[in-house]
Amino acid sequence: MNYEAIYYLKDIDRLNDAELSQLLSLFKKENDILLFAILEENLKYESEETSRYLCSLKYYMGDDWIFPHLKPSFLEFKKILWYRTDTTKFIQKVVSLDHLFRSVVLENGDSIENAKYVFYVIETIDSKVLCIAAKSIEDFNTCILPKITKFDQSLPILNQL
């Protein structure tokens, strides 16, 4: 995927899981879906019930790497399960299970490579940062940025770390 920009929302660890799930929901338009990723092999560490549930929500399974940084060599032959999250409550549950999540927003039915937004969380010395790779700077500035500002004016949005 070609990204026009990467934005960084600092200090997201001050948001609770409900607020973070609401923030992620701001990126979805009417026909968009929010997918989260888990390595297929990590499903064995989940309860059987959770593993079955996540697999039932499968949107795509593959080894495509869509993140802006290079794919780590230890992930070279690993499959990634991308699963749907349809409600803010379920997004909240997923975020509470994995605070260093990876997710995407794309149009329902589209391929992972065409994601409009790619999210991943990193930890810095003093906080957690939500990294947002945007396919369109214009869409981010006209549609998303005003929503984020209305949601929480104090969230620092940076173009670089």
The pLDDT tens digits of the residues spanning 3-36 come to 899 999 998 999 999 999 999 999 999 999 999 9
In whole angstroms, give the CA distance from residue 81 to residue 40: 6
Of 1-10, 46-55, 69-78, the one with minimum mean pLDDT is 69-78
Q: What is the mean pLDDT of residues 47-57?
A: 91
Of 62-76, 113-127, 147-161, the one with minimum mean pLDDT is 62-76
User: If you average pLDDT over every residue of the chain, what do you get?
Assistant: 92
Confidence of residue 1 (pLDDT cuts 50, 70, 90): low
Question: For residue range 83-140, what is the model confidence (pLDDT) as tens digits?
Answer: 999 888 889 989 988 889 999 999 999 999 999 999 999 999 988 999 999 999 999 9
